[in-house]
Structure 1
Amino acid sequence: MMKDVIIDLLRSDGSIVVNKRLAKAIGLMEAVVYSEIVSLYKYWASRGELVDGEWFFCTDEKLSENTTIPERTVRRKVAELVKLGLIEKELKGLPAKIHYRITDKIFEVLGLWPTKDGQNGQPDKINVSSDKNAEKPHGYQV
């Protein structure tokens, strides 16, 4: 059936998944860039290739390519994510390359930290897949 083909095509590796709650909290473009950064983190973590246990390499050009957002806009959105405290960005290594680290601020942004009245709650554990065969983010080349 044609609809099945369309659904399979749209749900394939070429999709960008964005949390609606996050998009409402920080903006759609910021959420798209953040989601791609999280996807890259998961990829590098699954390969055991995080720097200092938390940091991973990515260029603005690659983020632009993976999200279809113009590189100049990606730089602005990354700067906004840094300003919001959702990610950290540093030059690391020789030669120096841009590395990212995801912070815990996302829980605060999404209202998941415990409140005074005991509602909501911090997740007990964040599970990152250790599958060495994890799929690479769309368009990512090692």
Structure 2
Amino acid sequence: MKLMSILSGQGFVMYNKKLAKSVSVNASIIFGQLCASYESFSSKGMITVKDAKEYFFLTSDTLEEETALTYKQQLKAIKDLEQAGYIETKIMGVPSKKYFYITDKIVQELFDEAKFSSDEREDLQNAESQESVRQKVTPSYDKKETLGVPKGNGKPIQKGSSIKKKNKKEKDKNKKDKIDNYQEPIINSQNPEDFKALLLEATDDFYTQFAIGRWSKNDWNKLMKRFVDETIQSGRYENIPFDKIKGYAYVSIKNMADHSDYKKSEEFKEYKEVMEQIASNNTSIHLPSYVSDFLEDDNDELPY
């Protein structure tokens, strides 16, 4: 039974073991999906070129569907890949989306690895060739030297297999040192710029759910920008944990949507007419500030 042939149709993600060891397992999974998505977008002519770099976009929902990694796991894996220099990200478009650019680092590493293997084979062949030539030129000298050295003091010439084993041992040691010394980067969601990017990305996931039928794309982008900026400027972001950012975005946008729906409803229209009539019939009556402010038409209110 050919198991790989059967399973290959169940949505495999390319997984690089070397990248998993040097960065993280989740980062390797995300990187594999990004490579696959790049190939797909490129073949369909859906690549965005900016500053001579080829960008493509993926939503967190798509990544979760393709990799089964949660939103929080995705953010950390993407941050790890950025810190390691394998990808770059940029927020672009209307509505704004996160775009990815795969750097040349992985290609360079594969090239260097292939070149190292080629050089290693060439060194091995040269060593074996020199050994063969030396034995042919001075066979009697080698024999006399071996017989003349006391037992236990001889230093036989290293064969190709010994060189190969030594090189492999040194490579394994360097790899282990790299893994042992690696420190995972920390995502600081309390940093204003980091939080702003995370919150803005989270709002993108709710565009279809809340914006359609309420706001135009331009109005949505202005509203979300104002919402994010106000969250930062008020210092409210300092009390929002990393894993609650998406939930905070959802609740806030839902409140905005409910508020907007109410102000466009017949119920509010009647309430507004009654309050304005009361104020016009009796000039001595002054509406409370919170009532008069609410009666004003302001499509950019943030009632969260």
TM-score (structure 2 length as normaliser): 0.34
How many residues align? The count is 114
* Aligned residues with identical type, % of pairs: 25
Q: Secondary structure at the match of 1:73?
A: helix
Q: Which residue of 1 aligns with 2:29?
A: 32
Alignment counterpart, residue 23 of structure 1, candidates 9, 20, 37: 20
- In structure 1, how many angstroms separate the alpha carbons of the residues matched to 2:20 and 2:111? 16
Q: Does the 8 Å CA contact 2:24/2:77 hold for their aligned counterparts?
A: no
Flag the 1:7–1:35 CA change in 2: closer, same or farther, 3 A: closer
Q: Secondary structure at the match of 2:88?
A: strand
Q: Which residue of 2 aligns with 1:104?
A: 104
What does 1:28-107 correspond to in 2, within 5 Å?
A: 28-52=25-49, 54-107=54-107
* Cα distance, 1:120 vs structure 2: 6.1
* Cα distance, 1:26 vs structure 2: 2.0
- In structure 2, how many angstroms separate the alpha carbons of the residues matched to 1:13 and 1:50? 26
Q: What amino acid does structure 1 have at the position aligned with 2:111?
A: L
Q: Does the 8 Å CA contact 1:111/1:120 hold for their aligned counterparts?
A: no
- In structure 1, how many angstroms separate the alpha carbons of the residues matched to 2:36 and 2:105? 17
- In structure 2, how many angstroms separate the alpha carbons of the residues matched to 1:68 and 1:9? 20
Of residues 7-16 and 57-66 in structure 1, the stretch that sits farther from structure 2 once superposed is 7-16
- In structure 2, how many angstroms separate the alpha carbons of the residues matched to 1:112 and 1:28? 22
CA RMSD of aligned residues (A): 2.3
Per-residue Cα deviation, 1:119-139 (whole angstroms, up to 9, x for no partner): 469xxxxxxxxxxxxxxxxxx
- In structure 1, how many angstroms separate the alpha carbons of the residues matched to 2:30 and 2:63? 7
Q: Secondary structure at the match of 1:112?
A: helix
Flag the 1:12–1:82 CA change in 2: closer, same or farther, 3 A: same
- In structure 2, how many angstroms separate the alpha carbons of the residues matched to 1:64 and 1:111? 28
Q: Can you give the 5+ residue segments of structure 1 that lack an aligned partner in the other structure? A: 122-142
TM-score (structure 1 length as normaliser): 0.70
- In structure 2, how many angstroms separate the alpha carbons of the residues matched to 1:57 and 1:42? 12
What does 1:2-17 correspond to in 2, within 5 Å?
A: 3-4=1-2, 6-17=3-14
Q: Can you give the 5+ residue segments of structure 2 that lack an aligned partner in the other structure? A: 119-304
Of residues 7-16 and 60-69 in structure 1, the stretch that sits farther from structure 2 once superposed is 7-16
Q: Does the 8 Å CA contact 1:112/1:120 hold for their aligned counterparts?
A: no
